[in-house]
Amino acid sequence: NLDQIILINKLYSGQKEGVILANITKDTYADIFSLSGKHIIRIERKNGENNLIWDTLDKKKIKAANGIYLCKVNSFKESKNFVIIIAQ
């Protein structure tokens, strides 16, 4: 159930742990997009962890610029959107 997800550091200002999506279920992943619709990165669940962590790097390992991003969390049954703000 994606309604149980907790978004930690949704206003990201350089916290070392990154942006965290907690209470993730099995087979859940997240896609991060810029407001213009550009796909920044896909974050996938690692071996049994219940969190997804975005270190604010894109697919090329370049730090994402300050701004507003859309995080679309997907499972096989449903999807849910979150807004993330980077202000470093």
CA dist 55 and 37 (Å) reads 19
Of the candidates 28, 22, 27, the one whose C-alpha atom is nearest the C-alpha of residue 7 is 22
**What is residue 46's predicted lDDT score, i.e. its pLDDT?**
80
**What is residue 49's predicted lDDT score, i.e. its pLDDT?**
83
Instruction: Provide, rounded to the nearest whole percent, the portion of the chain with pLDDT above 70.
Output: 100
The beta strands (E) that lie in the chain are given as 6-8, 11-12, 19-22, 29-34, 39-44, 51-54, 67-74, 79-86
Query: Of the spans 17-21, 75-79, 82-86, which averages the highest pLDDT?
Result: 82-86
Of the pLDDT bands very low, low, confident and very high (cuts 50, 70, 90), residue 47 is confident
**What is residue 15's predicted lDDT score, i.e. its pLDDT?**
80
Q: Give the predicted TM-score (pTM) of the model.
A: 0.90
Of the candidates 87, 88, 84, 80, the one whose C-alpha atom is nearest the C-alpha of residue 34 is 84
